[in-house]
């Protein structure tokens, strides 16, 4: 049996066992082979979809190279976000400092691409070699007249969550700097959707159809001007709460804008996202339109969903996500398809998240925090799962053992949010679980089903 490190045992729990105690929100154990990335990763993924800004990674080449055009975030206009820029620090820069190179790089990029803002991401060594990134940003900002934001995302300064926070700090410097003329009362910002495969557009369309104005989408299909006027909205609707809650809280303190936590994955959560917003505005017509929309959209997808459910009933799934909020929606969506989640976890969940997961899942479900390949492979074998939902790093674990896999990470090219997305999700799950290739896998052949 695959070993579990003693120091990791408090981050694993099987539901039903008492007492329930889950250690979480702590740095990964050295040598454990965590699936997490770093602070830089957190900042980079959150700001990535802002399409009319240049994103300059200050450091040696790796960090920029590994994040070049890797997200499925779409833009309706400019596509600067798909380019990878790096100061590509060399040994001499490490010795003499990289400030001059950073300055020149920013000037070159701004003059060449005419962005509406620039983000500068600090990588691990920037603080250590003593670069004053803030001063360089300030100088370029005054010389070129666009916001130039320093994102303090040195990889070792915490976890991915600290990177989210650094990104939100950058965004909160933009919010409030633009005019709010023409923004109506019934208006929201969509926070924490990244327009993977056009999902932000679907969600924006739903809200507009029920009569709610969308001021800024942060950061899916993001634009600097829209972010600058986001404080004109009456409500922040926050998905992927882990990454964006910090910005929502800042806007609440600063501008008195309340926020709602939502999820757009699965029928129940999607419908609730519309109803909650409708309720917030105390407007009977919005409530009525939401009901009509949900009714029509659900009716449109139900016949096909039912067919998939018939085939999938009783199958077992494992779910491992970055933020825990998506895991809740996935457990519910799988249930809609008749499937049972037997292993679930996240890289960055907190105590409250795991408490919720425990309530949501059936008895005997394994919960894991900041897990690793050894634990995941042990539990998927033990629990005989038919499907694994995760990201690129989990895929070979599933495939090597002959288990179906669905990508629910930021690389994907298929929209999984909203009602339409639920149907896509069902198709994805169905084509993963029902493929005849599993019949050829020796391990699956032997397993009783």
Any contact of residue 229 with another protein (CB under 8 A)? no
Any contact of residue 447 with another protein (CB under 8 A)? no
Tell me how far apart the alpha carbons of residues 89 and 58 are, in angstroms, rounded to a whole number.
8
- Residue 162: name the closest of 319, 11, 36, 329 by CA: 36
Q: Report the residue number, 296 or 392, with the smaller CB distance to another protein.
A: 392
Any contact of residue 250 with another protein (CB under 8 A)? no
SS3 state of residue 258: coil
User: By the 8 A CB rule, do 119 and 64 touch?
Assistant: no
CA 179 and chain centroid, separation: 29
Neighbours of 257 (CB within 10 A): 20
Q: Report the residue number, 18 or 91, with the smaller CB distance to another protein.
A: 91
Q: Which residue has the tokens 């009319």?
A: 52
- Give the x-and-dash track for 128-147 against another protein (CB under 8 A): xx------------------
User: By the 8 A CB rule, do 8 and 369 touch?
Assistant: no
Any contact of residue 436 with another protein (CB under 8 A)? no
Q: Report the residue number, 236 or 409, with the smaller CB distance to another protein.
A: 409
Q: How many residues does the chain have?
A: 449
- Give the x-and-dash track for 23-42 against another protein (CB under 8 A): ----xxxxxxxxxxxxxxx-
**Sole binder of another protein in the list 16, 68, 114, 449 (CB under 8 A):** 68
- Give the x-and-dash track for 266-305 against another protein (CB under 8 A): ----------------------------------------
Any contact of residue 152 with another protein (CB under 8 A)? no
Tokens of 290: 């939401």
- Give the x-and-dash track for 349-378 against another protein (CB under 8 A): -----------------------xxx--xx
- Residue 63: name the closest of 80, 75, 48, 78 by CA: 48
Q: Report the residue number, 17 or 128, with the smaller CB distance to another protein.
A: 128
Tell me how far apart the alpha carbons of residues 172 and 254 are, in angstroms, rounded to a whole number.
10
Q: How far apart are the first and last CA of the chain?
A: 21
Any contact of residue 67 with another protein (CB under 8 A)? yes
Query: What torsion, rounded to 10 degrees, do the Cα atoms 94, 100, 103, 104 define?
Result: -100
Q: Which range of residues in 155-163, 166-174, 204-212, 283-291 is near another protein by CB under 8 A?
A: 155-163
State the nearest-atom distance from the C-beta of 341 to another protein, in Å: 20
Any contact of residue 97 with another protein (CB under 8 A)? no
Q: Report the residue number, 123 or 172, with the smaller CB distance to another protein.
A: 123
């Amino acid at each position: 049996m695959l070993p579990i490190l003693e120091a990791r045992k408090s981050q694993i729990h099987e539901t039903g066992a008492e007492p329930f105690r889950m250690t979480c929100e702590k740095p990964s154990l050295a040598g454990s082979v965590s699936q997490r990335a770093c602070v830089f990763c957190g900042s980079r993924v959150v700001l990535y979809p802002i399409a009319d800004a240049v994103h300059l990674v200050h450091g040696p080449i790796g960090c920029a190279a590994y994040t070049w055009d890797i997200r499925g975030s779409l833009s309706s206009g400019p596509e600067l976000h798909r380019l990878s820029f790096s100061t590509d620090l060399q040994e001499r820069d490490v010795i003499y400092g990289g400030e001059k190179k950073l300055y020149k790089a920013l000037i070159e990029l701004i003059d060449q691409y005419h962005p509406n803002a620039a983000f500068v991401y600090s990588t691990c060594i920037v603080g250590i070699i003593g670069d004053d990134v803030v001063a360089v940003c300030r100088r370029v900002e005054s010389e070129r007249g666009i916001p130039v934001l320093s994102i303090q995302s040195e990889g070792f300064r915490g976890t991915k969550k600290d990177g989210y926070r650094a990104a939100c700090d950058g965004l909160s410097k933009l919010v409030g700097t633009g005019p709010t003329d023409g923004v109506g009362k019934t208006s929201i910002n969509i926070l924490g959707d990244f327009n993977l495969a056009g999902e932000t557009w679907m969600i924006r369309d739903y809200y507009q159809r029920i009569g709610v104005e969308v001021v800024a989408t942060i950061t899916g299909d993001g634009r600097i001007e829209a972010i600058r006027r986001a404080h004109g909205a009456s409500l922040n609707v926050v998905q992927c709460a882990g990454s964006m809650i910090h910005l929502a809280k800042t806007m609440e303190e600063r501008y008195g804008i309340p926020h709602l936590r939502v999820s757009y994955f699965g029928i129940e959560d999607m419908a609730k996202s519309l109803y909650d917003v409708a309720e917030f505005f105390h407007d009977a017509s919005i409530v009525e339109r939401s009901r009509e929309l949900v009714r029509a959209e659900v009716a449109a997808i139900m016949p096909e969903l039912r067919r998939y459910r018939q085939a999938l009933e009783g199958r077992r799934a494992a779910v491992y996500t970055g933020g825990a909020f998506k895991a809740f929606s996935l457990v519910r969506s799988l249930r809609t398809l008749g499937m049972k989640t037997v292993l679930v976890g996240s890289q960055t969940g907190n105590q409250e998240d795991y408490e919720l997961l425990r309530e949501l899942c059936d008895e005997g479900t394994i919960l894991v925090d900041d897990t690793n390949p050894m634990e995941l492979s042990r539990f998927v074998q033990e629990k005989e799962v038919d499907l694994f939902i995760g990201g690129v790093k989990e895929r070979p674990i599933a495939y090597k053992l002959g288990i179906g896999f669905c990508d629910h990470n930021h690389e994907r090219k298929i929209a999984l949010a909203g009602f339409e997305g639920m149907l896509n999700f069902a198709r994805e799950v169905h084509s993963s679980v029902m493929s005849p290739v599993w019949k050829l896998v020796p391990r699956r052949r032997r397993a009783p089903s």
